[in-house]
């Protein structure tokens, strides 16, 4: 089994590269680390690559990069994939920080890039935009959620953190409650991408900054029950739904098997489980009625 350790960067396509570069730098607060006529790479101020942009349709995820342990043999990664009948190829220079990667397709036809070595981008001391700490997770709509979850757990080493009935799965590859989410839908497509910010005060600052840029929230602020992160959502000009979050559940010890206790937890201890279909989306109440019509339908 391949043991993915963290989410690297997500590659999104856009019909207007200039507009999206401006949005991700001035509004989101990422740093442009490299750009040519066809592609751009953006990282957090601390140097973690987060988003790559390339030409194409709006609101589409074309590639997703994950890191395995530094020093891992990528040839062994390819051999492990072959054991599962998965064809892969070796590619070089997939981003400014990633010199070598093994590339293959997952069951939902997204290109997955697995790398072991990463070179941080130079720290950016400028203060502009929301300035998230990292790309925290990516959520995707899929027809067969069981098939996709099996692939990510059996092949890539993810662990299931929670299910909402049989339709929505939350998977982790590190201490964060979820790194990828998969929800049942007849039309496979990107659901949302999410950036972690430092704390609740940064969520408030993000709300003010979005409003100042004439970008209105489509949901939040609120605290989710599954994962318990405080979150806000908005859509950018490409209709990509972006979440900013903080205070997500953490499982710091896999052997203990429960998330670090928090005052807002419903169970003591809070272990991975299947939540019922009536589980509220917002622990604080506002907007929680939307869960009845389906978590994935929220605009």
What string of H, E and C letters represents the secondary structure of 130-176? CCCCEEEEEEEEECCHHHHHHHHHHCCCCEEEEEECCCEEEEECCCE
Domain boundaries for CATH 3.10.180.10 within the chain: 6-115, 134-297
pLDDT score recorded for residue 298 = 44
Burial, 32: exposed, middle or buried (Cβ in 10 Å; 0-12, 13-18, 19+)?
A: middle
Reading the chain (299 residues) residue by residue, the pLDDT tens digits are 999 999 999 999 999 999 999 999 999 999 999 999 999 999 999 999 999 999 999 999 999 999 999 999 999 999 999 999 999 999 999 999 999 999 999 999 999 999 999 999 999 999 999 999 999 999 999 999 999 999 999 999 999 999 999 999 999 999 999 999 999 999 999 999 999 999 999 999 999 999 999 999 999 999 999 999 999 999 999 999 999 999 999 999 999 999 999 999 999 999 999 999 889 889 998 654 443 334 444 44
Closest by alpha carbon to 159, among 77, 249, 269? 249
> Between the CA of residue 15 and those of 18, 21, 31, 99, what are the distances in Å?
9, 12, 20, 27
What superfamily would CATH give domain 134-297? 2,3-Dihydroxybiphenyl 1,2-Dioxygenase, domain 1 (3.10.180.10)
pLDDT computed for residue 296 by the predictor: 41
> Quick one: DSSP state of residue 6?
E
Rounded to whole angstroms, the Cα distance separating 289 from 83 reads 45
pLDDT at position 287, please?
56
Strands 60-67 and 241-246: unpaired
Helix (H/G/I), strand (E/B), else coil: 23: helix
- Identify the pLDDT of residue 280: 87
CB 149 within 8 A of CB 161: no
For 109-125, b where at least 16 C-beta lie within 10 A, e where not — what string? ebbbbbbbebeebeebe
Q: Using CA atoms, how far apart are residues 20 and 35, in angstroms rounded to an integer?
A: 12
Compute the distance between CA of residue 91 and CA of residue 110 in angstroms, rounded to an integer: 16
CATH second-level architecture of 6-115? Roll (3.10)
DSSP code at position 30: -
Write down the residue that tokens 């590859």 correspond to. Answer: 173
Long-range contacts (CB closer than 8 Å, 24 or more residues apart) made by 250-253: 250/175, 250/176, 250/177, 251/161, 251/172, 251/175, 251/177, 252/175
Exposed, middle or buried: residue 63 (CB in 10 Å: 0-12, 13-18, 19+)? buried
**DSSP per-residue letters across 158-223:** -EEEEEETTTEEEEESSSBS-SEEEEE-SS-EEEEEEEE-SSHHHHHHHHHHHHHTT--EEEEEEE
- Cα-based angle 290, 295, 299 (whole degrees, multiple of 5): 70
How far apart, in whole angstroms, are the C-alpha atoms of residue 278 and residue 165? 9
């Amino acid at each position: 089994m391949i043991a993915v350790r963290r989410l690297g960067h997500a590659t999104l396509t856009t019909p207007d590269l200039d507009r999206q570069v401006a949005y991700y730098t001035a509004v989101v607060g990422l740093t442009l680390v490299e750009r040519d006529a066809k592609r751009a790479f953006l990282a957090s101020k601390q140097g973690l690559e987060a988003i790559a942009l390339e030409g194409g349709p709006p609101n589409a995820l074309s590639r997703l990069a994950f890191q395995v342990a530094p020093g891992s043999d990528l040839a062994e990664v390819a051999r492990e994939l072959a054991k599962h009948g998965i064809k892969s190829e070796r590619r070089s220079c997939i981003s400014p920080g990633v010199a070598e990667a093994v590339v293959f397709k997952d069951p939902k036809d997204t290109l997955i890039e697995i790398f072991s070595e990463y070179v941080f981008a130079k720290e950016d001391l400028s203060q502009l935009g929301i300035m998230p700490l990292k790309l925290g997770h990516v959520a995707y709509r899929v027809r067969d959620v069981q098939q996709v979850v099996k692939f990510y757990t059996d092949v890539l080493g993810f662990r299931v953190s929670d299910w909402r009935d049989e339709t929505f799965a939350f998977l982790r590859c590190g201490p964060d409650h979820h790194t990828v989410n998969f929800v049942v839908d007849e039309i496979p497509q990107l659901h949302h991408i999410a950036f972690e910010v430092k704390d609740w005060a940064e969520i408030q600052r993000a709300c003010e900054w979005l409003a100042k840029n004439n970008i209105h929230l489509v949901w939040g602020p609120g605290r989710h029950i599954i994962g318990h992160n405080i979150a806000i959502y908005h859509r950018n000009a490409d209709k990509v739904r972006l979440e900013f979050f903080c205070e997500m559940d953490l499982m710091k010890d896999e052997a203990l098997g429960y998330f670090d206790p928090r005052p807002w937890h419903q169970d003591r201890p809070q272990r991975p489980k299947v939540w019922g279909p009536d589980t509220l989306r917002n622990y604080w109440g506002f907007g929680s009625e939307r869960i009845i019509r389906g978590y994935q339908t929220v605009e």
